[in-house]
Structure 1
Amino acid sequence: MKLAITMVVLNLLSISSSSPDFGFDNSVLKMKPWPIENCSVVPDDVKCKTEVQRNCEICDDNNICKLNIVLSFPKDDSYILNLDRVYETVNRTIGDRSFEYEIKKMDDQCKAEVGLGNIIDITEWCPHVLIGLPCDYALAGVARISKYLGNYGAPLLSPSAFTYDFTNEKVNMLQEFYHLVNIGQADYRTFAEFLRLIFSKYKWKKIALMYEKSDFSEVGGENACYLVMSTIIHTEFEGFNYESGDLLQLNYSSSSGYNTFLKEKVGVNYGIILTCASHTNIRKIMIEAARIGMMDRKEYLFFNFALYNNAIYPETPWYDPDDTESNNDLAQKGFESLLTLYPYREAEFKNVELQKFRGSFYLRDIEESLLMYVDTIEENIQNKKSLKGCDIIQSFRGKVYPSTGNSTVTLNCNVQRLSTFALVAQTKGRSKIIGTYSIVNKSIGWWDPDDYIFPEDDPPCGFDLSKCPTYDTVNVLLISLICVILVALFIVGGVFYRHYRFKSEVYSQAWKVSYDDIVFLSKDRRSSIHSITTMKEIDEMSLAGDKQLFATIGYYKSIRVAIKKLPDIKINPNHQQLIELKAMKDLSNDNLVKFYGACIECPNNCLLIEYCQKGSLQDILENPEYNLDWTFRMSLIMDVARGMHYLHGSPIKSHGALKSSNCLVDSRFVLKISDFGLHFLRGNDKNDDADINSYQYWKKYLWTAPELLRMVNPPPAGTQKGDIYSFAIIMQEVIMREGVFYVKDSTLEPKEIVEIVRKGPDDNNKTLRPTVSSENVNEQVDEITSLIEKCWSEDPHDRPDFNILKSKLRQMNQKYV
């Protein structure tokens, strides 16, 4: 309630002609405020004309009225305003009316050609009102032709229309976006105007742009942040000296990339940096800025544009409970030099936290504008007023519509919804509004920065102090030289010590196992066995092989282990192989099979690894007694991803033989990956091609990436991108439970499948891949199917790494917890 009252007060301050100017010069803005009443700016002779008229009246001669409503949104549920979510809201909102209505749902896929094509296809259906097209590229084409649709044009109610083109003058039919109604409470031009007034006050003339161009695509579509920056530069900031910063195009789109961009592009030349990035990315940027010292002397100031508030904790956006304490400290320090521009409602932090999902305010914009539209139609039917689309648009100019609760929809004479924007700072670690800007009269309605520091646009010293004057140069150089020598000696000493220690650990051979220390559970072993047991225990497992193998079970230092026999040859590991054995011994991860050691006493060569009671993932998938629900399947997939993420970051680097038979399951149903590394020991049984025409021989290649199949001598350890492909095949196995490389309605043998995959795309640029569908599970698999398809892309460079995969899978898994 307190926030609502504050909002009303701030709006009143913005509208009042006697409100203080706080030292801002509104004359610098290029566009004057639009009036909100007496909309005489629209000439009478161009109010309602159309080049094409057709029989699309809402009411027929018998006064039976039917309203045709088009919803055009992307169906993909990664968008906040997706088709199904909006349809549910619209159906609920319209309620009982004196007229009939029909709704057509159209998936515009956030693409211009699809959105325009959909509307053209239903022209004869006579749409009376269009709602949607949240992506600006898709919106533009449809907005241009809306004047030719329905009954003398169809009003287009858009919750986005962010780009500056959509806020240009549209007061007559000769202007391209005449039927477009901006019903949302955010637009890029207003962001630019707010910022321009601040720049004018502090006399800033140069800026650095830094943006992830596709951030906020879930609200504004592809290239949302690129369009923000384009609007700023082409409206209020023409003539400014700026450094362009498309991070993706410049290959700076990562934490290390942010660090490099800040050092090399921003450097000591720009003190004011404009960013457009999601909460996750802006936090990474501010961490890197604090890390290199940009906040040490308050010489830099960042402005971030945010279409909605997606911080985990809106009042303390710098804090991430899953990050380290040091990173949180850096983030808090960085956020002290960050000002965020929000639509005002996204700065009402308590309300933001209470949202069912972040960004839901845009859904409320649709609800309120739809009520305004249908109430207008109903009123005009009852009062026998014009129902022409162009007349409805004209009636919206300067309209004030009391909506639900304390909300009011007010449109100016350019049919743009009036709204207020907030500038949010961090003071003592908490978010605080220090300024507001109103679209009503294009002025600052509130400004209270207190003791917040606004630096110069040219840093006096720079983050590295390279621009600061130095004194007593000789002494400084001498001290610096001594420090450099001491540091160098320390580093060299440290390097030598680490090298000695590492070499000592390598040659200590902690991995080496004496055959006499292994206790086999077998009746025909040494007599010492009988002091433990007289049984012979053999478990069926899938160890390092291409078919089911029998692994002998035993004990080593009181630990139950699986024992894999190796060829009876003399083994003398060289230096590099000793390093690999040490690395294998040092690996420790819940989703990797633990390597206890190796015995290389010929003829008793063997490997000792962690014992996994349940056998392999392949065993479990092929056993109908196991009822795997969706949560369990996702858990198995997540275990593989965690294990491979750790393995790819370890000295082992890659697996090379990832498959379901090499994924073992322990007694707690935790999946653990096996058969990685030590290829100089395992190699002899992998290269066995004695039965080259057998089913089993070709089956083992069904998990192999096409680029590896094409190699005459592929690397034994494979490649990381090849592992991603194998992981995709495993995900398909887990989802379908139809065996490896299941292709629906196909009778292809493994050899045929391998040959087709090796050849690559056919004449129609189609590649052979397994079938993934929801026929075997009671869940929607569209989202994970898309991920699988990326993982088995023909081009290895298109496959994501396990860091990305782990994050994506965790997000999917949370939906089922």
Structure 2
Amino acid sequence: MTVDELTEEMIYGKKNAESGRLGHAGSMERKSTVPRRKRIPTTVSDQWTLKRKDDWEDELRWKPWKSLALQEAFSMEKTILLHYLFTKLVFVTLTVCTISAFRIHILIGVLERLFWVFGGHYTLSTASHGPPGPGFWGQWDRRFLPMALPSLLLVVAALAGGVRPPGARNLTLAVVLPEHNLSYAWAWPRVGPAVALAVEALGRALPVDLRFVSSELDGACSEYLAPLRAVDLKLYHDPDLLLGPGCVYPAASVARFASHWRLPLLTAGAVASGFSAKSEHYRTLVRTGPSAPKLGEFVVTLHGHFNWTARAALLYLDARTDDRPHYFTIEGVFEALQGINLSVQHQVYAREPGGPEQATHFIRANGRIVYICGPLEMLHEILLQAQRENLTNGDYVFFYLDVFGESLRAGPTRSMGRPWQDNRTREQAQALREAFQTVLVITYREPPNPEYQEFQNRLLIRAREDFGVELAPSLMNLIAGCFYDGILLYAEVLNETIQEGGTREDGLRIVEKMQGRRYRGVTGLVVMDKNNDRETDFVLWAMGDLVSGDFQPAAHYSGAEKQIWWTGRPIPWVKGAPPLDNPPCAFDLDDPSCDKTPLSTLAIVALGTGITFIMFGVSSFLIFRKLMLEKELASMLWRIRWEELQFGNSERCHKGAGSRLTLSLRGSSYGSLMTAHGKYQIFANTGHFKGNVVAIKHVNKKRIELTRQVLFELKHMRDVQFNHLTRFIGACIDPPNICIVTEYCPRGSLQDILENDSINLDWMFRYSLINDLVKGMAFLHNSIIASHGSLKSSNCVVDSRFVLKITDYGLASFRSTAEPDDSHALYAKKLWTAPELLSGNPLPTTGMQKADVYSFGIILQEIALRSGPFYLEGLDLSPKEIVQKVRNGQRPYFRPSIDRTQLNEELVLLMERCWAQDPAERPDFGQIKGFIRRFNKEGGTSILDNLLLRMEQYANNLEKLVEERTQAYLEEKRKAEALLYQILPHSVAEQLKRGETVQAEAFDSVTIYFSDIVGFTALSAESTPMQVVTLLNDLYTCFDAIIDNFDVYKVETIGDAYMVVSGLPGRNGQRHAPEIARMALALLDAVSSFRIRHRPHDQLRLRIGVHTGPVCAGVVGLKMPRYCLFGDTVNTASRMESNGQALKIHVSSTTKDALDELGCFQLELRGDVEMKGKGKMRTYWLLGERKGPAGLL
């Protein structure tokens, strides 16, 4: 395409038969000049006619001149000399005509224009933003621009030649943006400070010349003025980079010129989908800001997440007097949804009477998933009509495309995060609030990095100082940040290109290097795709707080990762789940199953007959039900005979199996609540009924009159069955044993658990218990029983699966108070009672329900602090004093203490709302359930997972306790076994540990060692008892250490006597004699070096006797059992010791024979020795052991 063709296309539109022809006088058929891969189908109303003003009619009349001038100005095929001479000639001619035709100030205006062309400079601190402004040029330029512009362009072309002076090193940035209209996010006062900051960031390393021209006409973007200004910039300054435009139509025209010039065009606007197709027309266009196709990618991801695969409906406002922002925004959604084969219908919203009705009619007919793009007022009108037609019942969801989040900002009539607020009537405001529960708002995501916050602060300061404009923090500032990042991206790529041998004129090469870039900018991670479009992040907002109506982020979408990150705040679906996008028979009316043809006469007769039978059946059922009710009341299925209840002994009944509360003395004076059982307060006894353990609560009444009211109460108790209510089994009314029998929960009451410091309750566990309590109370309030009336932590019990259940509800006729009116226990039970109940006035059912909410608030404080009910920091008040202060109701109202620093602020607010003085200000349990669901982030798990988590926590607590007790037990066991092994032989000890009886055992041959200390009696007489004990302890400690090296067993020590045996209890064949012999030699050697502490110069003289023979061994006695040896061998060994000599080993002949078998011991014959009771015996002295091969065993 030639420059001439581009120029004609710029002026006339598309150069083709459909859109490039001049229409009737003063008008022109206009179509979008932006190419699209798949545009929204154009209706007849879409081909609209743009009315021209008088000035543009004049310009059109001069189009032959302008065409010729621009052709001459842009032509690159003429030689420089001919170009110069021709433009000079035309310039002189037109200048003469101009001077002779108009006033003298026109000449001044031309000279001013020329002065700006040749010598003008743009600085950020001055107001010279381009050619002379409206003061003069605004009156002259519109009427005579078509005649004057060609001469000016020719002069510049001739004198400047559009060529940068040789050797120029500065980077030239040319900006084409709106100058005054701040409603554009890319307006120059918004973007200019960011450009200035980017220029400063480049610094001296890359000096920048900045040129700015306005593309604004009559306060709006002009698709005709922008390309003219771009041509001016190209001819006069030959820029390296074009910034802008942001509006779609001007960007389309300028992008074609930039593509022809091979000049990079960088913008953070131009959101239309058509720019994504980088054809020859837009090959140098780089979009560093958000774009409509990226919004479409987010919407497609949402549809995949919610399984919406069939259809959607689009509603938008088409503002055709401007750049059609809503049209191009929703165009991205349309193309993306069509790309995944959805049936997508669209309609332009009519801003006229009947427009909301048309919109809801379109929604009903085309989709349940609705996307709306337009002003907030338009959304309000549609939602009000949708509310009237019941389209906000949860079957529809409305996505509001408010990319800059203006609806979430605070305004004159609304608070921040509350787009539903408006200056409407109270009824309309309430309807809007309810309708907005079905609205999800989509906005750009504000960069969370601190660099962006610092950049935004600097941006606001520079806008005020350089432009005199007060900007507010908003998402519009994101566009300025995108321009900033784009300039730095261009500078980085330009440096790489130059380093690789390229030049600034390699525009296509520079643009190609930008593709697929990832870098960190002030707006966070910047990711460019293959089309040089930036990946965009979005936020999905929902009404996260149904109480306040505040919108909160529900999800974040990462464009770089194409993934949605959910914040954990659940979307408040009206029906608890996302709506279906294509429910059966909603749209596909051709389905035979959806056929609604009129009924025939026969069918009507059959239907009437059927209805008659149904009515007869219903009436019969009601009569039958009435009869069954009377029969059930008369049968008294709830009744339990006293003989059917089985009890254990008194101790087990009243104490061991009862639910007990370990009272804590923290906080208030709960120590005085102790009963006769000491520190335990008894709540319920237990017994057995039909083989099951049950809880039995005795009623302090002599008899119960079975009135009809009492019978209904008992029936209702049997009918009410819920997981979080204790099951009513029956009642015994046999005087005087009147009691209520309910399900037994072995874990005790909630008060038990809270007061048990050994149980570790993390907040997940606490929220789980709270959630169980709320579910139980919500069910109870919606049941026939309607309220509890005596809710307290002791009336909340925990079963074996750690599920909290509410007990002691219903049966008002059975309730009685045994305590006197002024008793301490009675006031202690009233710590949970609401102020309106303390006054004693009867309340309706709803009032009792609000009183239950107050009691729940006190229980919340118990669970949160674990300091008992009505904890008061720093105060020591009796229950009676506390109840009186609550009953008085004086401001400030007397309530428990709360540590806000350790608790969740939302939980504290819920407590305060629950115990509000005015019952009307307290929430009901349905609302409390929603609050707890938001607090408890793990509450979304299944019942099984929740139960497993509870059991796991309790198991962990038990495991910790068991591990500690096991370690202590093992340590004590080790000590006991060590002591047992020291007292008895190892084999004997093992038999005793196994519970076996130790039988006496005979041994054919063992060797026994006896020794004593010669002169020990005299030594003891000369020493103190402690010295003697110390001496023997030192000596036997030394001996014990030595005998551990031999296969021997120490039998006992008696005084200075030391007895050792080998060959038992473990048999060792013939090794017993040499083992004893070696041991005796070792002990004799040790004695020679042993020193007595209190008599270090004295030498102990050890006398040893050894004998070998048969013995019998066994454990004797039950208390202090001892392993004893029996037989003549023991006596003989003792005689061998007593007839021996000091420091010698006296052995018998049998021992000598056993040693001779080895041939390694040296023995000396002593001779025959007279033994008491034995006669003469031949004995020997053991002198030592020979070393060598013969001595090896």
Q: Give the TM-score normalised by the residue count of structure 2.
A: 0.35
Q: Give the TM-score normalised by the residue count of structure 1.
A: 0.49
Q: Larger relative CO (CA 8 A, sep 6+): 1 or 2?
A: 1
Over alpha carbons, which structure has the higher Rg?
Answer: 2
| Higher share in helix | 2
